[in-house]
Amino acid sequence: MTTALVTGATEGIGYELAKCFARDRHGLILVARSKEKLERAASEISASCGVHVSAIAQDLSVQDGARRLFDEVRSRQIAVDFLVNNAGVGTYGPFAQADLERELAMMRLNMISLTVLTKLFLAEMLRRGSGRILNVASTAAFQPGPLMAVYYATKAYVVSFTEALANELRGSGVTASVLCPGPTRSRFEERAGMGASRLFRLPWVMQASEVAETAYRELMRGKTTIIPGLPNKLLAFSVRLGPRKLLPSIVRRFQEPGSP
């Protein structure tokens, strides 16, 4: 049986992606910070899909969290065929007022742990000559984001890193894909403190299940850059056409509280 490892797997896009893999009879390793939530998610998916689901509680925002996860998977002698780096957080507010430690933890989670896990599991995939990696970014990656300056920058890193990696992996039997969802109904906006933002009041905000279905389908096809939903595709494309100096002001307008 093939196995998918999904980080940030207890809710939102990660949970829905886990269900997509289980539906197609792939075993699962679910990873998140909360052991209680993990065990509940693992039980639900295993009962509904009849596949083996392992749960590993690990905080990937701490130093060496990613390496500890890799070592735990290796100690269980589980080969990972699909790696889904979904875990991520955001912070909201002016950069000068943001808590430094919280932003550093976000950078470790959104960029460093993602890179470490990709590096470590990729080596095993290359030895086998097969495997698929899905890194979760955002349409935030395509422009600067006032009021979420560091978050937007972390997602730009994920896109650049994954697209370059995909090129390097051509012909190896391993693929790398990056998912760039737009605003999505999940608990992300609540945790980031941006529930009142105009961004999440737009008419094309997607459900996590919709995003996951598109991501899973395109991952299996080997597509490199996955942008679910036509409005999000148009947004990503339009950024390339507009004057760069206007982008921060436009993005800030959507980030601020109020009606769209």
Q: Which residues are catalytic, by number? A: 151
What stretches of 89-149 adopt beta strand conformation (E)? 131-136
Neighbours of 129 (CB within 10 A): 9
Neighbours of 66 (CB within 10 A): 28
Contacts of 252 (CB under 8 A, 6+ apart): 146, 147
Is 113 in contact with 60 (CB distance < 8 Å)? yes
Buried b (16+ CB within 10 A) or exposed e, 149-170: bbbbbbbbbbbebbbebbeebe
